[in-house]
Amino acid sequence: MKKILLFIASATLVLAMLLSCNRDNLKIDIPSYIAIDSVILDIDTATQGTKTQNFSSVEVLVNHKKIGIFDIPARFPVLKEGKVDVLIRPWIKKSGVNDFKTDYFHIKNYIETITLKADEEVHIIPKFTYKEETKIYIEDFDGPGLMFHTSDSVNLLVKKQDPNNPNNQIGFIDFSLVDEETAGFTFFTKLELPNRRTAMYLEMDYKCNTMFGIGLLKRFPNNSIDFIDPFTIVKPKADKWNKMYIDIGEQIAPESRANTYDIFFYVSRNNEQGKKSEVYLDNIKILTF
């Protein structure tokens, strides 16, 4: 009986000690919240081209600690209060593939100091810019001439007025210029990009009802050329304009005997009964260092 009473007394003492613990040890942290509803590409359109972008996600750091990667629009908790430094970098779908996202190397990090309060929300609209050292080659189809040329007998890449904006010109692959036996059309840049591995991306706006491929053309010291099979196939998306980012740099092989490269497009004719091939391009940029 004494042992039972002793056990009860001991248990009561332990329970009393637990209840008397510092309340701070039992405190539940209430988070603050950050919301990012949209992002902006804030650039000089005269020298850096269009402001269209498709930054699908953002990576967020608060006081140098990674909070996570979030799809836009985003709302997420942060266990911080008071003034904090928020660093945001954009992520893109590589070659338009949802499951293959990466941070966009040519964009500067966006940094903003904000004040967080528990259970309250702070809205941020990041304004991204290109890094100063980025070189940008632009084809927006508004100026004279074209960045592209072809070795085919007829150039099917023509300029056309944008039906939704009379002040804008767009590129159009016009298969009506050739007979129905022509299966496709190839055109390529005239940039002669150096044979060195570096961060290099192709940005473009497009809509199409037929597939087209993008690849590299090797140029050799003896003036011969070699077309590498397309490494990106763009699938038909004809209902609206789309933005795509394609990693060109990872395709360049420094061990190759080629001294320069160019980017080529191969557009296949739409063979579906009763349909005309339609491929529209605009705001093409090649970014490198």
Q: Are 135 and 287 in contact (CB under 8 A)?
A: yes
- DSSP string of 180-217, one letter each residue: TT--EEEEEES--EESS----EEEEEEEESS-EEEEEE
Q: Are 56 and 138 in contact (CB under 8 A)?
A: no
Give the list of residues 6+ apart from residue 239 with CB closer than 8 angstroms, or none: 207
Q: Which domains can be identified in the chain, with CATH numbers?
A: 27-128 (2.60.40), 137-288 (2.60.120.200)
Low-confidence ranges of the chain (pLDDT < 50): 2-11, 13-15, 18, 23
- pTM of the entire predicted model: 0.84
Task: Tell me how crowded residue 283 is: count the other CB atoms within 10 A of its CB.
Answer: 22
> Helix, strand, coil proportions of the chain in percent (round to 5)?
10, 45, 40
Question: Can you point out the beta strands (E) in 11-142?
Answer: 32-36, 40-41, 57-62, 65-71, 74-78, 82-93, 101-103, 110-116, 121-123, 127-128, 135-139
Query: What is the reported pLDDT for 226?
Result: 87
Query: What is the reported pLDDT for 3?
Result: 45
Q: What is the DSSP code (8-state) at residue 25?
A: G
Query: What is the reported pLDDT for 196?
Result: 79
Query: What is the reported pLDDT for 254?
Result: 63
Q: Are 88 and 35 in contact (CB under 8 A)?
A: no
Compute φ and ψ for 106, nearest 5 degrees.
-85, 0
Which value, in Å, is the radius of gyration of the alpha carbons in the chain?
28
Query: What is the reported pLDDT for 38?
Result: 97
* Spatial separation of the C-alpha atoms in residues 52 and 60, rounded to whole Å: 22
Surface-to-core class of residue 142, CB atoms within 10 Å of its CB (0-12 exposed, 13-18 middle, 19+ buried):
middle
Compute φ and ψ for 14, nearest 5 degrees.
-60, -45
Compute φ and ψ for 39, nearest 5 degrees.
-130, 160
* Spatial separation of the C-alpha atoms in residues 16 and 11, rounded to whole Å: 9
CA-CA-CA-CA torsion sign (80, 124, 201, 204) = positive
Which tokens hold the place of 283? 């705001």
Supply the mean pLDDT for the chain: 88
Task: Tell me how crowded residue 58 is: count the other CB atoms within 10 A of its CB.
Answer: 22
Buried-state track 89-122, b at ≥16 Cβ within 10 A, e below 16: bbbbbbbbeeeebeebbbbeebeeebebeeeeeb
